[in-house]
Amino acid sequence: MESAHYHQDLALLHWQIELGVTETICDAPVNRYDLPATPEKPVGVAAAVGKGPVALQEADVVGEATRSAAAAPSLEALRAAITAFPHCELQKGARNFVAAEGGPDARVMVIGEAPNRDEDRAGKPFVGAAGQLLDRMLAAVDMGRNHADTPVYVTNCLPWRPPQDRDPTPEEIAMLRPFLLRQIALVKPQAIVVMGNGACQMVLGRRGITRLRGEWAKVSGVPVLPMFHPGYLLRNPEAKRDTWADLLSLKQRLRNG
């Protein structure tokens, strides 16, 4: 006979897995009150947390990421370089690498925020209700992931889901941004759409989507249009009017070349 607390305990275990817990019992007991005789010297990105760009430069994590990304001659090689990059802890807690969708000949590149739980499970960007809304938005202006005339390349600013869907840290943004910029260089889109604050932070180095949306910018010589994320539109349908204006602006930019 099942215990009365069986289902509750099982739900708690699933919740811990979602948080990224990979180990519950160590080989040896740990005394949390015991201080080490000699403090350990921090290494890698962990040493840079809270100490600014100087510490990051000392660890040379960003430089290593930049060199690794620049050496990738194709999108397939770039994915291999990202998964082989040893300094990002997000890879250890995520279920899947969230791969981009679309061919390298896409005219438009859509960049979303960090993957959520559904995207992490599927290994694809923009799935579920938000993905369906994105597809309807693109179709309304004669675009789409598999559109014959105006194909769209869809990706996220990060390839792995942060634990509990938290915001990426400045260190994570700094080390993974070179890979995203290389992705842009390989796709060579005519226009980029960044959806949500996370994508704006990663691509443009700025936040405040309600202020930034609809205002064209540039990165690596490519026009960039910030827009509301479809997930935000599902929660705030009154913002769809502004998004429709942004979609028309995108269509006009492509028409003008």
Residue 172: CATH number of its domain: 3.40.470.10
Residue 6 resides in a domain: no
What pLDDT, on a 0 to 100 scale, did the predictor assign at position 45? Answer: 46
Asked if residue 56 has pLDDT above 70, the reply is no
Give the sheet arrangement for strand 108-112, strand by strand. 152-156, 108-112, 191-195, 222-227, 217-219
Least-confidence region, from 35-49, 160-174, 236-250 = 35-49
What pLDDT, on a 0 to 100 scale, did the predictor assign at position 102? Answer: 84
Decide if 91 contacts 83 (C-beta within 8 A): yes
Print the domain residue range for 222: 52-256
User: Distance between CA 125 and CA 115 in Å, rounded?
Assistant: 7
49 confidence band (pLDDT: 50, 70, 90): very low
3-state secondary structure at position 136: helix
Asked if residue 52 has pLDDT above 80, the reply is no
Residue 25 resides in a domain: no
Asked if residue 197 has pLDDT above 80, the reply is yes
Percent of the chain with pLDDT over 70: 76
Residue 188 resides in a domain: yes
Backbone φ/ψ region at 221: left (φ over 0), alpha (ψ -120 to 50), beta = left
Decide if 199 contacts 113 (C-beta within 8 A): yes
105 confidence band (pLDDT: 50, 70, 90): confident
User: Distance between CA 221 and CA 198 in Å, rounded?
Assistant: 21
What pLDDT, on a 0 to 100 scale, did the predictor assign at position 2? Answer: 53
Residue 114 resides in a domain: yes
Task: Output the average pLDDT for the chain.
Answer: 85
225-247 mean pLDDT: 97
- Cα dist from 120 to 19, 48, 74, whole Å: 13, 27, 24
Half-sphere exposure of 59 (CA within 13 A, CB side): 23
41 confidence band (pLDDT: 50, 70, 90): very low
Residue 183 resides in a domain: yes
Asked if residue 138 has pLDDT above 80, the reply is yes
Residue 41 resides in a domain: no
Q: How many domains does the chain have?
A: 1
Least-confidence region, from 74-78, 100-104, 112-116, 142-146 = 100-104
